[in-house]
Amino acid sequence: MKARTRTLIAAALVLGIASGPAVAHAAPVPVPAGVTAPLVPAPPNAAALERAIAGLGAEHGDATAALVRVGGTSGAWRGSSGVADVVTGRAAVEEGRFRAGSVTKTFTAAVVLQLAAEGRVDLDRPVRRYLPGTVPDSYGAVTVRQLLNHTSGIPAADGPGDSFEAQWEHRFDVTDPHDQIADALAKQREFAPGTAQHYLNINYTVLGVLVEKVTGTSYEEAVGRRILRPLGLRQTSFPSRTQTRIHGPHNRGYQAIARADGSRELRDVTEWNSSDRWAAGDIISTTADLERFTKALFGGRVVPAAQLEEMFTVPAVKTFGKGEAATMTAGMSRITLPDGTVLWGKSGGRYGYNTGMGATRDLSRTVVYSVNSTNAKGEDTNPVVMGIVGAAFAR
């Protein structure tokens, strides 16, 4: 299907042309020390972005739909492509809601950092001080900061299995976060706290419980009260513990399954219980809401400046088991593009949905996408996602 796009170029006055409807611009955002010019000065490359999401649908090898918003001080672009469902072939819902997966961790981290700014949480204090009896003495003094940047050494909780079919059989299971934490902490630690980085959901499951303990309310209410409602993120929500549907307009998600005869089945995976991800990955949102959140976060309107630095600080350790330099921060990660441009943001994957939000530190370029990947939990990055990110920062 031909990509349906419209280009909104903030540099129209400079170019002497108007492209698309007028765009309201936010106040200037803080620029990092030593930076005197936008990190990405050119407007979005509309042609490259259109190519990145062209031809999506039931017959495409990697995705059935994509929703993309590129913005920032240098200009903006919006686009959608593909189908809302493969049965009717109707066009993708441009403002559709989707499972944002581990993008949830950025919201969780922001709440914890707010609590740190209020003096209610000390990032260097052992977690067991807030959650007595949770972290065994054999683990050492696991701190809140080490949960945030995945250097705690806590192993993953057991689940039904890593294969799609194993997950599919248990897709409607309801999981209690306290049970997950107990299961994980009954095992030996993977490494001494603070000596390596291992990106695991369990860190943010513990943080979700910590938020509830400190605030005296549910994790969902804490995020709603502190972030969603103040920013007007009306299309962002958390499913209830037993909810399996995505309420509101949305594009259906599919997983490609190989049949014995060599053909391919697109299995509908839209309805799924996400309670096993909870504070680590069960948020539902839209590209418009995630773009607003990104701009507010980077602009210092969600987390105070001192604590916000945690989200742009990568611990000086190696990754567990691989020995590569760490890239994860408190709720985000650092991404360096081939041309040296540094992005900060978070991606997420739930069956049927790959999501990402990110930006340059100075907000000269932001990108948010939802791609209905047909192998969203695969080891390799979806080619459509790679194309979107590359096109969003094309010079």
Residues with active-site annotation: 102
> Which residues contact residue 229 at a Cβ distance below 8 angstroms, ignoring those fewer than 6 apart?
none
Radius of gyration of the chain, Cα coordinates, nearest whole angstrom: 21
Tell me how far the alpha carbon of residue 219 is from its chain's centroid: 17
Reduced to 3 states (helix: H, G, I; strand: E, B; else coil), residue 284 is: strand
Distance between CA atoms of residues 158 and 139, nearest Å = 18
Determine phi and psi for 78, rounding to 5 degrees: -130, 140
Distance between CA atoms of residues 390 and 395, nearest Å = 10
Reduced to 3 states (helix: H, G, I; strand: E, B; else coil), residue 277 is: coil
Q: How far is CA 181 from CA 119, 131, 189, 190, in A?
A: 25, 11, 13, 15
Distance between CA atoms of residues 285 and 271, nearest Å = 15
Alpha-helix runs per DSSP H in the chain = 12-15, 46-52, 104-117, 144-148, 164-169, 177-185, 202-215, 219-223, 229-231, 287-298, 305-308, 383-392
Q: How far is CA 244 from CA 105, 238, 283, 390, in A?
A: 20, 11, 12, 33
Q: Are 342 and 327 in contact (CB under 8 A)?
A: no
Q: How far is CA 78 from CA 68, 273, 293, 314, in A?
A: 6, 30, 17, 31
Q: Are 65 and 50 in contact (CB under 8 A)?
A: no
Q: Which two tokens stand for residue 324?
A: 């590569």
Distance between CA atoms of residues 22 and 370, nearest Å = 25
